[in-house]
Amino acid sequence: MSERLAAAAGPGADYESMPYDSMPFAQTQPSNLSAVATFFGLETAPVDHCRVLELGCASGGNIIPLAARYPEARFTGIDLSDRHVAIGNERIAALGLSNIEIRQGDLADPDVVAGEFDYIICHGVYSWVPPAAQDGILNICGRQLAPNGIAYISYNVLPGWQLRGAIRDIFQFHAGECASPQEGVAKGREMLARLAAISRESTPYGQLIRHEAKLLATYPDTYIMGEFLVDQNRPCYFRDFVERAEHAGLAYLADTDLRSSLPETISPEFSQLLAGMAGPDRRMREQYFDFFQGRQFRQSLLVRKNQSAAGQPTVDHRRLAALHFSSQLRLDAGTPGAALTLREPKGKSITTNDPMAARALDSLGAAFPETRSLPQLMNGLAINGAAESAEVRDRILASLVRLIVAGLVDMSSLPVTTGRAAAARPVAWRVARQDQLAGQPWVTSLRHMPVRLDAATSALLPLLDGSNDRAALRAHARDQKSEADIAGEIEKALQNLERMALLEPTGDTSRRARATPS
């Protein structure tokens, strides 16, 4: 940040003039945190009746949709910015929620929050606050976490973040004597774009500048301000973060990205390297893995120290039997021979010789964006007797583990149920409709993800309150187009809303028929 801005700013002052774009982060969902804990052999509090605390919640874009989804759970958010808190409370009132409170507080204050929480979330805060607030975050987790609780903290890590440090230097230097965060962001973007245009792609530095310029062009201004212009941005080594957590009475369980928590799955050669460099010390194994992949950002889960012995950082597919899964993999009908290919819409694919596992995974893709349990995946498979059933069950679970680690299947401790476009009177999720009404450039889905709408879905969304059937929707859309064109556009928009998990479940049996695994 420029010296002029720094001199004028108190704690959180930048966000008073430029409120942070507060949005949902799927990986922070308690149902996801609970599922990862289950993966490692721990039991957690039931998500639908849990107590959740978010530290540095901004205006509640992450925590408020969770409160809307789980009315029997209790949510508390703390943020330093008065403006963030005001915006969040306006949104809570607009949705009529009574199971959540957002209030102002300094995370360095030991009395900022009282009580016990089953899940504590701190996303995009730890690296961007002073050391006293970092200690405060860890101490709150150490004091307020329930005996079987899970804390989630994200942070920038070394040495990978050193590369982005060059981009931060450019923004800090070029912002100069800017009078506002908005001006500083605009000047920094302009300079980076100019550098990218004249940089040489044949050099490592030119590749970095071009990559970052392209990536950051898609990010909101408040992200740029928080990452590159605020005074505080303190990346750390994973090893040092864990040591500080241990001083607060906590222990590292895993990262939400399971590939980083199971580095031995990357390659036999890397596993041998880890064994030689780090031995059995898991903390050092993780640190060397960061060296190996140049990792820049971690999303780590912490538990109380006495819980760490119960968690097992090993793969046991039987632990997943009670979870729920989602994926977009579908069978490729054109696959020749015995090998069966399943493919995602974005092009990623897997091949298997197990027809039972392939059919189960295909039924999972057919049900998307909803989740399916293991019994639902096995439903409809031609299984002969209990022995074969147990064998098929193990094969499906083993396949799910591999795909979860590969990032091709998501898991949840609770089912995700959504609406379908075929409903007679489709209903868009009220949180998404309120997001749109508030003028946000994205809306929140039932999968707890930000979704940007095209013109057709944006126009249709506010009409989906359950009162309009197809005829009413066509009447609202009628202009110079033919009736057939209007009907086709509406059906396409409804299909998009279904795929993006923006429709609420209804009592219409047509959606249940379509959602049942084949």
pLDDT, residue 48, reads: 94
In a domain, 419, yes or no: no
CATH at 375: 3.90.930
pLDDT, residue 483, reads: 63
Residues 132 and 277 in one domain: yes
Residues 371 and 470 in one domain: no
CB count within 10 Å of CB 160 equals 17
- Would the pLDDT of 205 be above 90? no
pLDDT, residue 142, reads: 96
Residues 363-376 as b/e (b if ≥16 CB within 10 A, e otherwise) read bbbbbbbbbbebeb
Determine the average pLDDT of the residues in 211-231: 82
- Would the pLDDT of 170 be above 80? yes
Mean pLDDT check: name the lowest of 9-23, 51-65, 151-165: 9-23
Residues 65 and 155 in one domain: yes
Residues 284 and 354 in one domain: no
- Would the pLDDT of 509 be above 50? no
**Cα angle vertex 286, ends 33, 143, to 5°?**
50
In a domain, 143, yes or no: yes
- Would the pLDDT of 138 be above 90? yes
pLDDT, residue 293, reads: 83
Residues 295-333 as b/e (b if ≥16 CB within 10 A, e otherwise) read bbbbbbbbbbeebbeebebebebebbeebbbbbbbbbee
List of E strands, 134-185: 145-156
CB count within 10 Å of CB 269 equals 8
Determine the average pLDDT of the residues in 171-194: 81
Q: Are 30 and 203 in contact (CB under 8 A)?
A: no
Determine the average pLDDT of the residues in 166-174: 85
318 φ/ψ angles, rounded to the nearest 5 degrees = -65, -25
pLDDT, residue 512, reads: 37
pLDDT, residue 179, reads: 65
Residues 215 and 249 in one domain: no
Mean pLDDT check: name the lowest of 142-146, 392-396, 471-475, 481-485: 481-485
Residues 15 and 93 in one domain: yes
Please provide the average confidence, as pLDDT, over all residues in the chain.
86
71 half-sphere exposure, CB direction, 13 A CA radius = 4
Task: Write down which residue in 206, 226, 246 finishes a domain.
Answer: 226
**Most confident option among 204-218, 251-265, 377-391:** 204-218
In a domain, 130, yes or no: yes
pTM: 0.88
Residue 495's pLDDT band (boundaries 50, 70, 90)?
A: very high
- Would the pLDDT of 63 be above 80? yes
Tokens matching residue 455 = 């013109």
pLDDT, residue 25, reads: 96
Task: Classify burial at 293, counting beta carbons within 10 Å of its beta carbon; exposed 0-12, middle 13-18, buried 19 or more.
Answer: middle
Residue 506's pLDDT band (boundaries 50, 70, 90)?
A: confident
pLDDT tens-place string over residues 280-330: 677 888 888 888 888 999 999 999 988 765 556 666 788 899 999 999 999
pLDDT, residue 337, reads: 59
pLDDT tens-place string over residues 388-397: 788 889 999 9
Q: Are 304 and 250 in contact (CB under 8 A)?
A: yes
Task: Write down which residue in 308, 336, 357 finishes a domain.
Answer: 308
Determine the average pLDDT of the residues in 114-122: 97
The whole domain housing 214 covers: 171-226
- Would the pLDDT of 190 be above 90? no
Residues 239 and 361 in one domain: no
Q: For residues 187 and 167, what is the distance between their CA atoms, to the nearest angstrom?
A: 13
pLDDT tens-place string over residues 265-281: 666 677 777 776 766 67
pLDDT, residue 6, reads: 36
Residue 449's pLDDT band (boundaries 50, 70, 90)?
A: very high
Mean pLDDT check: name the lowest of 140-144, 217-221, 423-427: 217-221
Amino acid symbol at 128: W
User: In the chain, pLDDT over 70 holds for what percent of residues?
Assistant: 87
User: In the chain, pLDDT over 90 holds for what percent of residues?
Assistant: 54
Residues 195 and 91 in one domain: no
Determine the average pLDDT of the residues in 215-237: 83
Residues 20 and 131 in one domain: yes
Determine the average pLDDT of the residues in 185-199: 86
Task: Classify burial at 479, counting beta carbons within 10 Å of its beta carbon; exposed 0-12, middle 13-18, buried 19 or more.
Answer: exposed
Task: Write down which residue in 352, 383, 412 finishes a domain.
Answer: 412
pLDDT, residue 314, reads: 66
- Would the pLDDT of 9 be above 60? no
**Domain count of the chain?**
4
In a domain, 417, yes or no: no
Mean pLDDT check: name the lowest of 217-231, 268-282, 394-408: 268-282
Residue 1's pLDDT band (boundaries 50, 70, 90)?
A: very low
Q: For residues 391 and 220, what is the distance between their CA atoms, to the nearest angstrom?
A: 49
Residues 354 and 295 in one domain: no
pLDDT, residue 31, reads: 97
pLDDT, residue 223, reads: 80
Residues 141 and 250 in one domain: yes
Q: For residues 366 and 10, what is the distance between their CA atoms, to the nearest angstrom?
A: 52
Residues 242 and 331 in one domain: no
Tokens matching residue 432 = 């998404």
In a domain, 1, yes or no: no
**Most confident option among 22-31, 255-264, 285-294, 350-359:** 22-31
pLDDT, residue 189, reads: 86
Q: What CA–CA distances, in Å, run from 110 to 58, 143, 150, 344, 460?
A: 20, 10, 20, 47, 47
505 φ/ψ angles, rounded to the nearest 5 degrees = -60, 145
Cα 236 from chain centroid (whole Å): 22
Q: Are 128 and 58 in contact (CB under 8 A)?
A: no
- Would the pLDDT of 480 be above 70? no
